[in-house]
Structure 1
Amino acid sequence: MSEEMDGKHGVQSLEIGMGILRAMVNGQRSMMLKDIAVAAEMPPSKAHRYLVSLIRAGFVEQDPITSRYDLGPFALNIGLVAIDRLDRVRLGLTAIAQLRDQINETTALAVWSETGPVIVRWERPRRPITVNVVTGTALELLTSASGRVFAAWLANDAVDRQIARELKKPGLPPHLKTRADVDRMLAQVRADGYAAISDYYLVTGVEAVAAPVFNFRNEITMAMLAVGVKGMFDMSPGSAVVTGVTRAAAELSVRLGYTGEEKKTG
């Protein structure tokens, strides 16, 4: 059989194994071997051989007391990751629309990409003077509220490299000239639970507040932000904007499985 034909036919043993997993998912509870075999339409001896391999791979686990089989840690992790990837933006869109209605300011959602934070959706408020946010806009880490939020809670080499690049750029605020300055600023962001920035470098006279959204792994997965016109946008602690953004981000985090112990840098 040629490689092309083999690719079209797939791997039968893998499909059989997935059939067993499907039977266990549909069972909605831990199951005995005989029940799994019936559901998967195969002899118990054959089902047992596949279950042994699935246990080794982490897809299935067996209770040593009851001998019942259930989904294993890796299968559960796949499901949680799938939920995170499919639902986080959809839930985020609803959240920023509700926040927009609550505070009557431009709201937006940013996610992390290979090149840093990117705006994926924004909502326009119902007021004559507004700030428009362009979907797909890439954000700096040090001079945007969302960027500071990601830099404060996302620990990876990409963040460190981007911070190093931005520190070489002209026009940074006087208090952000060294990595030590940046670390102090990010520590304050983590202590506050949000980032607030005035005179965003791309648009003069614009202010923004951003808060982190965490997932079931207690890791930052998105940033929720509100953007407004300087002089018409209250970013003081306890203001309606700050309270609204942080509360909305916290509520969305809970919906995404966050348990309250976010992972922090530093």
Structure 2
Amino acid sequence: MSEELEGKHGVQSLEVGMGILKAMVGGQRSMMLKDIAAAAEMPPSKAHRYLVSLIRVGLVEQDPLTSRYNIGPFALKIGLVAIDRLDRVRLGMAAIAELRDTINETTALAVWGDHGPVIVRWERPNRPIIVNVVTGTHLKLLSSAAGRVFAAWLPRDQVEEQILKELASGSAPADIHTLDDAYAMLAEVEREGIAAISGNYAVKGVEALAAPVFNFKNELTMALVIVGVEGSTDMRAESPTIIELKKSAHNLSLRLGSTREVDSAA
């Protein structure tokens, strides 16, 4: 067999071993041999032979008390290195470009900066009337959709001072007068899994939607945003626009290692 042909065929035993690891990852807990074999669709005797080798290289470990198998220390190290090397902003930019192509709306990516949420990238749709979003724009917590996402899912001690400043300055929406009002609104955002503003947006004539993106620690890391001319975006809870936004945010969260249970189609 030529070297080129052998390279194309790959190493079957390695692929089988990776199939066992995939089955264990999918189980999301330590597993008995019979469960691993069933998930990997192979006889237990065959699965056991591969598990012995995987244990030797540190990809799997076995609890001597329960006989259950789990992901080993070397596998965990590989995962941590992969997470560390992920460029979350690059992945976020790809996500908003794909979302723009799907829904043909202005999309943007917001992250938490030194002074609160900031837009780091936006994508222009293919339509005659659009809302321009300026990269580097800092967003209010109470009167922007992305701001509400950060205020809802970040720890209170990280956002409360800024919320109080917005309330004191009169820049909060007209229906939010007190800190209790703000937290009641943010609790609703968290229940819905999305922030939607139309009519009370920071910029007159503009409406926006935003969804949270979580990292491998299940902490908020970014917000995906849709911005449009007021009255032009379908803001209904079951609208295709909102479904696609939630799906995009959920998929990006999975890519970043999040294990949060999110209804991406609601």
Q: TM-score, normalised by structure 2?
A: 0.68
- d(CA) in 2 for partners of 1:201 and 1:239? 20
CA distance 1:71–1:124, change in 2 (3 Å) = same
| 2:81 maps to 1:90 | no
Q: TM-score, normalised by structure 1?
A: 0.68
Residue 8 of structure 1 is matched in structure 2 by: none
Unaligned runs of 5+ in 1: 1-28, 33-61
Q: Per-residue deviation at 1:98? A: 0.8
Residue 210 of structure 2 is matched in structure 1 by: 210
C-alpha offsets along residues 54-108 of structure 1, whole Å, 9 cap, x if unaligned?
xxxxxxxx9997xxx94597x678536513xx42111111110111011110000
Q: Percent identity?
A: 54
Residue 167 of structure 1 is matched in structure 2 by: 167
Q: Which amino acid aligns with 1:175?
A: D
Residue 194 of structure 1 is matched in structure 2 by: 194
| 2:182 maps to 1:182 | yes
CA contact (8 A) 1:30 1:70 kept: no
Residue 52 of structure 1 is matched in structure 2 by: none
- d(CA) in 1 for partners of 2:182 and 2:211? 18
SS of 2:177 mapped into structure 1 = coil
Q: Which amino acid aligns with 1:252?
A: L
Unaligned runs of 5+ in 2: 1-53, 65-71
Residue 137 of structure 2 is matched in structure 1 by: 137
| 2:245 maps to 1:239 | no
CA contact (8 A) 1:31 1:70 kept: no
- d(CA) in 2 for partners of 1:94 and 1:248? 10
Q: Which amino acid aligns with 2:190?
A: R
- d(CA) in 1 for partners of 2:226 and 2:134? 14
C-alpha offsets along residues 169-205 of structure 1, whole Å, 9 cap, x if unaligned?
1243232110110111011001100000124654210
CA contact (8 A) 2:144 2:202 kept: no
CA distance 1:210–1:222, change in 2 (3 Å) = same
Runs of 4+ off more than 6 Å: 29-32, 62-65
Q: Which runs of structure 2 are paired with 1:35-114 in the superposition (5 Å)?
A: 70-71=73-74, 79=81, 82-83=84-85, 86-114=86-114
Alignment length (residue pairs):
202
Residue 229 of structure 1 is matched in structure 2 by: 229
- d(CA) in 2 for partners of 1:80 and 1:136? 28
- d(CA) in 1 for partners of 2:94 and 2:235? 23
Q: Which amino acid aligns with 2:122?
A: W
Q: Per-residue deviation at 1:161? A: 1.1
| 2:128 maps to 1:128 | yes
Q: Which amino acid aligns with 1:188?
A: E
C-alpha offsets along residues 195-245 of structure 1, whole Å, 9 cap, x if unaligned?
001246542100000000011111111000100001211111111221111
CA distance 1:204–1:72, change in 2 (3 Å) = same
Q: Which amino acid aligns with 1:245?
A: L
Q: Which amino acid aligns with 1:110?
A: A
Alpha-carbon RMSD across the aligned residues, in angstroms, is: 2.7
CA contact (8 A) 1:218 1:261 kept: no
SS of 1:141 mapped into structure 2 = coil
CA distance 1:198–1:104, change in 2 (3 Å) = same
Residue 152 of structure 1 is matched in structure 2 by: 152
- d(CA) in 2 for partners of 1:76 and 1:158? 32
